[in-house]
Amino acid sequence: MNHSEILQQGRCLQAQGNYEEAEQLYRMILQREPQHLDANFQLGTLAFQLQQYNISMACMIQVLQQDKEHKRSYYYLARSLMFLEQFEKAKEFLAIAIQLDALWCPPYLALGSLYRKLGEQKAALHVYDTALDAGIQNTKLLSNKANCLLSVGDIETAIQLYEEAIELQPKHFEIWNNKGQAQVLIGDLNGALQSLQQASSLDPGSAMVHRNIAYVYHQLQEHSLAKEHAETSLQLGEVSKEIFQITLDVYQRLEKYSLAVELAEFAFESYPQEYSFLLVQADSLNGLKQWDDAIQAYKRLLKIHPQQVSALHRLGILLVRFDDVNTGEKYILSAFNLLYQPDVLSIEEAIEIGVKKQASNSLQAASIYIDLGNIYQQNGNFLQAVQCYKSALKQDPNQTVCYRYLAGMRQYIDVAQLMCEIERVEMEHPKYSSVRLVDLYFAKGMLLETLAEYPKAFKAFEKANQLHRETIEFCIQRSLRHITLVKKVHQTCPRINVSEQYPLDVQPIFIVGMIRSGSSLLAELLSAHSMISSAGESAAFSDSIEYVCQRPDILSAMQELSLEQLVAIRQRYQEQVRKEAKSTTKWIINKLNHNYLYIGLIKRIFPEAKIVHIQRNPIATGLSIYQRYFAEPQNFAYSLEDISQHYKQYQSVMQYWLDEKIEISSLQYENMVAQPKEEIEQLIEAWGLSWEEQQLQFHQNKTPVMTASVVQVRQPIYQSSLEKWKNYLPYIEPLLLL
C-alpha cells in the first residue's frame, strides 16, 4: 500500500476507536518519511484524543515547520495548551487560526470557551459576536453564546439564541435542555417542561435531562412525577448533589421515608461535607416513627457538626415529646443560644426574647417557636402556646400558619385584635401565595364565627377551601375502587385465628368513624380510665403490615399473609402502639378514624380487638370538616360536594361491615355529650371494666393531644356547638341531603 492508502486506513481505524492500530500505521509512514505532513498531523490528533498533549504539540509543531498556514495544527496546538493551562499561548494560536480562516468555526468556539473558563464573559461574547458577524451559522456557536449570556443574566436573549440554534438543528437534545433550564430561571415552568421533555425524547438516556425534569415537576408540586424522573436520573448514573437534594425532598413530601433514609446515607457517603443529608435521614426516621433511631441519627449529626441548629432543635423537641424534658430543653436552649447573643438561660426567657429581638437566623428561630407552641398546645398549656406563636410571627411575619393556630385558641387571645392584624397582613401582601392565604382565610373564618358574624365567616371558610381545593386532587371514583378492593381482600385473605395461640399483652381498641365526629372526646373519656391509654391517631396497623411484609400496598400484602407474618404483625403493632401511648396499660386505643375502611381486615389480624364506631349528626360533621385545615391529607375535606359524597361512601362501608356480622360497638356523639357517664359506662362494662369517676375529669389529662380537637378536649364537656350548623343553613345545601 502507498502512503495515501495507509493514511486512509489509519483514519478509519482512529474513527472506530482502534487507536493502537491507527498509531502503528501513522508511525509506519513516518519511519519511511519523517517529515510526512499528514501523518504527523493525524498522529497529533490521535495523541490529543488520548490526552497525550505534549506528544500532540510536538506533532503539530512538526507540521507547522512545513506549512505555517496549517490552521488545524494551530487549533490542536492551542487546545493542548489549554489542557496544560498555558492559556496566553493558547489564545495566541487560536487567534492565528482565526486569521487564517475567518469562516472556520472551531477556533472561535475554543477561544470563547477559554475566555469563559477564565471568567472573562465579555471577551467570550466578543469572540462569539465576531464569528456571527462574519456570517458563520453554527448551532454550537449560538448555544455557547446563549450559555454565556445566561452567566451574565441576559436570560431572555439567551432563550432567543437557543431557539435560533434549534431552528438550525431541531434534534440537538442538549440545546433543548439548556433552553429548558433558562426558562426555569425566568419562572416559565410549563415552557421549561415542554423543552426538557423534548430533550428527553431526543435522548431518553440522559440522566441530566431527567434530573432537570424532576426539578421542574418538584417546583410545580407534581411530586409523584418528580419522583419518577429523579429515580430515573439516579438509575442512569447521576450522582450530583442536586439530584440527591431533589429526590430526598420529594421522598419527604410523599412520605416515602424509608427510601429517604436509604438514599440519604448514600448521598452522605458521596458528599461527606453535606451534613444536610444526615438531617434528612434523621427527619425521615422521625417520620417513620422510629424515634430511637431518629434520636441516634440527630446525635450522629451533632457529633460531626455540634452547632447544627436544626438538629439541636429537632432532637430537643423529640426528647421533650418523649418525656425526657430536661435533656430536650438543653438541646433546644443550645439552639436558641446559637441564634441569640448573649446566652439564653431558660425556655421561658427564650420565648420572651422572641417578641423583642430578632435572632441571627429568624427563619430557624420561628421554626423552633412553632414546634414549641405545638407541644404546649398538645399538652394543654395554651397561654404558653400563644406566646410561642407570637414569637414565631415576630421572627418571621410570613409564618401565616401561626394566625391559624392562634385563631384555633380563641378563648386565650384578643379576637378583635387578631382579626385586625390578619386584615392588615392581607392588605400589605395582596400577592401572597395560596398556601398563606389559606391560613389567613381559615383563621378569619374561626374568628368571625366567634364574633357571631356567620355570613362573613362562611365566606372566609369558602375562600380558604376553594384556594386549597385547587392545589389537591380528590377523585370519588378512585375511592370507590379502593373500597371495592378492600371488600375483595376481606373476602379472600387467609382466615387464621391466632388470638388464643399467640395472645398479646395489649388489648387493642380501635375508634373509627368520620373525622370531626367526636373520636377525640371519646378517646379522652376512655383513656382517663386507669386501665386504658391512647396511642392517638396511630398508623401502626398499616405500618406494621408494610414493615413485616416489606410491601407498601397493605391490601396486596393481606391476600398472601402467612401465619409467621400474621404473628409478626401482631407483635409489631403491639410494640408500636405501646411506645406511642407511652403507657404499660393493657388496653390501648388507636383512634385513626379512617381505619373504618379496614375493620374487617383488622378483625382478621386482631380477632380480640374492640371496634367502637362514633357517629355525629352528619350535617354538623360535614360543616365541622369544612371549617378545618387538616395537617394529614384529607383531600375530600375542602368542598361541600366532596364531603357529601365521601360521607355517603363512609356510610356504605360501615353498612357493609355490619352486614358481614362484625361486632362493632356504636356511640352517638350527641348522646355521649348529653350523658357521658351512662354512655361510656355501658360501653366499658361490656368489656369487663368498671366506671371510674376520674373519667369525667378527662380534660385534666396531661397526655398530649395531636388532633384538631386539641382545645375542645382540654375543657369539660359542653353542648353549645351541637346545633352551631344551623347558623349556616343558607350556605350548606350539599350537606342537607345527608
Residue-by-residue DSSP string for 122-183: HHHHHHHHHHHHTT---HHHHHHHHHHHHHTT-HHHHHHHHHHHHHH-TT-HHHHHHHHHHH
Separation of alpha carbons 108 and 111, rounded Å: 5
Question: Stretch 206-231: mean pLDDT, rounded?
Answer: 94
State yes or no: pLDDT of 707 exceeds 90.
no
pLDDT, residue 2, reads 87
DSSP string for 706-725: -STTTTGGGS----TTTTGG
pLDDT, tens digit, for every residue of 560-579? Answer: 888 899 999 999 999 999 98
Cell numbers 498555558 correspond to what residue? 86
| Pair 425, 507 in one domain | no
| Pair 423, 560 in one domain | no
68 within a domain of the structure (yes/no): yes
Separation of alpha carbons 5 and 26, rounded Å: 11
State yes or no: pLDDT of 162 exceeds 90.
yes
| Pair 48, 193 in one domain | yes
607 within a domain of the structure (yes/no): yes
Q: What is the CATH number of the domain that holds 527?
A: 3.40.50.300
pLDDT, residue 493, reads 81
Tell me the C-alpha to C-alpha distance, in Å, between residue 392 and each of 307, 345, 350, 352, 482: 21, 19, 11, 11, 41
Question: At residue 389, what is the residue type?
Answer: Y
| Pair 173, 228 in one domain | yes
Are the C-beta atoms of 626 and 643 separated by less than 8 Å?
yes
Are the C-beta atoms of 385 and 364 separated by less than 8 Å?
no
State yes or no: pLDDT of 714 exceeds 50.
no
Percent of the chain exceeding pLDDT 90 equals 77
296 within a domain of the structure (yes/no): no
pLDDT category at 713 given cuts 50, 70, 90 is: very low
pLDDT, tens digit, for every residue of 542-554? Answer: 989 988 988 778 8
Question: Stretch 196-224: mean pLDDT, rounded?
Answer: 94
Question: Stretch 141-170: mean pLDDT, rounded?
Answer: 93
State yes or no: pLDDT of 581 exceeds 70.
yes
* Last residue in a domain, options 186, 214, 249: 249
Separation of alpha carbons 732 and 288, rounded Å: 38
| Pair 726, 677 in one domain | yes
| Pair 575, 455 in one domain | no
| Pair 22, 61 in one domain | yes
* Last residue in a domain, options 471, 489, 518: 471
State yes or no: pLDDT of 142 exceeds 80.
yes
263 within a domain of the structure (yes/no): no
pLDDT, tens digit, for every residue of 319-354? Answer: 998 878 899 999 999 999 999 977 788 899 999 999
State yes or no: pLDDT of 494 exceeds 80.
no
pLDDT, residue 694, reads 87
pLDDT, tens digit, for every residue of 587-619? Answer: 999 999 999 999 999 999 999 999 999 999 999
Range of the domain at 539: 498-736
Question: Stretch 19-31: mean pLDDT, rounded?
Answer: 93
Separation of alpha carbons 176 and 165, rounded Å: 9
pLDDT category at 684 given cuts 50, 70, 90 is: very high
| Residues with Cβ within 8 Å of residue 290, at least 6 apart in sequence | none
**What's 590's DSSP letter?**
E
613 within a domain of the structure (yes/no): yes
Separation of alpha carbons 252 and 223, rounded Å: 10
**What's 508's DSSP letter?**
E
* Last residue in a domain, options 207, 228, 249: 249
State yes or no: pLDDT of 471 exceeds 90.
no
576 within a domain of the structure (yes/no): yes
pLDDT, tens digit, for every residue of 271-286? Answer: 999 999 999 999 999 9
Q: Which of 202, 252, 210, 259 is nearest to 235 (CA)?
A: 210
User: Into how many domains does the chain fold?
Assistant: 3
Are the C-beta atoms of 713 and 520 separated by less than 8 Å?
yes
| Pair 461, 504 in one domain | no
Q: Which of 406, 409, 399 is nearest to 429 (CA)?
A: 399
| Pair 546, 684 in one domain | yes
Separation of alpha carbons 528 and 537, rounded Å: 17
Are the C-beta atoms of 524 and 701 separated by less than 8 Å?
yes
| Range of weakest confidence among 30-39, 257-266, 407-416, 496-505 | 496-505
Q: How many Cα neighbours within 13 Å face the side chain of 705? A: 27
| Residues with Cβ within 8 Å of residue 154, at least 6 apart in sequence | none
State yes or no: pLDDT of 700 exceeds 60.
no
pLDDT, residue 703, reads 59
DSSP string for 338-405: HHSSS----HHHHHHHHTTS--SSHHHHHHHHHHHHHHHHHTT-HHHHHHHHHHHHHH-TT-THHHHH
346 within a domain of the structure (yes/no): no
| Pair 566, 443 in one domain | no
State yes or no: pLDDT of 708 exceeds 50.
no
Separation of alpha carbons 398 and 418, rounded Å: 15
Q: Which residues pair with 426 in a beta bridge?
A: none
pLDDT, residue 654, reads 95
pLDDT, residue 554, reads 85
Q: What is the mean pLDDT of the chain?
A: 91
Q: What is the CATH number of the domain that holds 208?
A: 1.25.40.10
| Residues with Cβ within 8 Å of residue 24, at least 6 apart in sequence | none
pLDDT category at 717 given cuts 50, 70, 90 is: low
| Residues with Cβ within 8 Å of residue 458, at least 6 apart in sequence | 445, 728, 731
User: φ, ψ for residue 351 (rounded to 5)?
Assistant: -65, -40
pLDDT, tens digit, for every residue of 405-429? Answer: 999 998 899 999 999 999 999 999 9
End-to-end CA distance of the chain: give it in Å, rounded: 95
pLDDT, tens digit, for every residue of 92-106? Answer: 999 999 999 999 999
| Residues with Cβ within 8 Å of residue 31, at least 6 apart in sequence | none
Query: What is residue 614's three-state secondary structure?
Result: strand
Separation of alpha carbons 387 and 317, rounded Å: 17
Per-residue 3-state assignment (H helix, E strand, C coil) for 273-322: CCCHHHHHHHHHHHHCCCHHHHHHHHHHHHHHCCCCHHHHHHHHHHHHHC
State yes or no: pLDDT of 720 exceeds 60.
no
pLDDT, residue 590, reads 96
Question: Stretch 27-45: mean pLDDT, rounded?
Answer: 93
pLDDT, residue 701, reads 58
| Pair 549, 600 in one domain | yes
| Pair 677, 625 in one domain | yes
Percent of the chain exceeding pLDDT 70 equals 97
pLDDT, residue 115, reads 94
**What's 731's DSSP letter?**
G
130 within a domain of the structure (yes/no): yes
CA dihedral 168→173→179→181, nearest 10 degrees, is -170
